[in-house]
Amino acid sequence: MNKLRIPEEIDQVPDYKGGIYSFSLRFPTDYELGLKSKIINCRRVALNIKNKLVELDEILNSNTMSGDVNNPLQSQHISRMYKVVFDEIKTPIQSELIDSVETKKWNVEELTIVANALRQAFLYASPIYVGMTRKQSLKTRLTQHMSGDSQFSQRLKEKKLSWRDLYYHYIALDDFYIEMSADLEKLVQSIFKPSLSMR
């Protein structure tokens, strides 16, 4: 599987084949966190790490559900209908663990180790979007996403994410039929349940 940063590495995406692709969250580099500054402010770096963890946790675990509720024993013409929305509540221990990153007193070496460990751990995070393309090339489909012509690009804006916050993964395929691709896409999405792949 190919893993790319976009838009910098978009030229490496095939423009002649379709395939399976996904987007996953990217943990910031040491430079982005402030660990490569001439004067390193450890407290500021720790705050940057904590804020990024809060942001990424919200995206990976965004699990809002909504629906309508009514009394099935009442006739439809007199029944009241209620709209309900459920938002996942973070457990106190989860919040404490994320907050502890900011409150501990770290030195530069420790912060570098923490940042690198988190960066490697995020390589194993579930994708936030999975798609397949057969009629179009992988590059054409990626360009459509990046130009804002997809629901996924709209969801990124809602979550205040940029393309630089993501990795793009792809596997080029030339051995499945167009008719199969929609069902295969649904099957893969049902297995991985990517948080921003919604219809």
pLDDT in tens, 112-133: 999 999 999 998 888 999 888 8
The H or E element spanning position 149 is none
Nearest to 68 by CA among 53, 80, 54: 80
64 pLDDT more than 70: no
Going from N- to C-terminal start, the domains of the chain cover 2-192
Long-range contacts of 148-154 (CB under 8 A, 24+ apart): 151/198, 151/199, 152/23, 152/196, 152/197
pTM of the predicted model, to two decimals? 0.77
CB neighbour class for 198 (10 Å; exposed up to 12, middle 13-18, buried from 19)? exposed
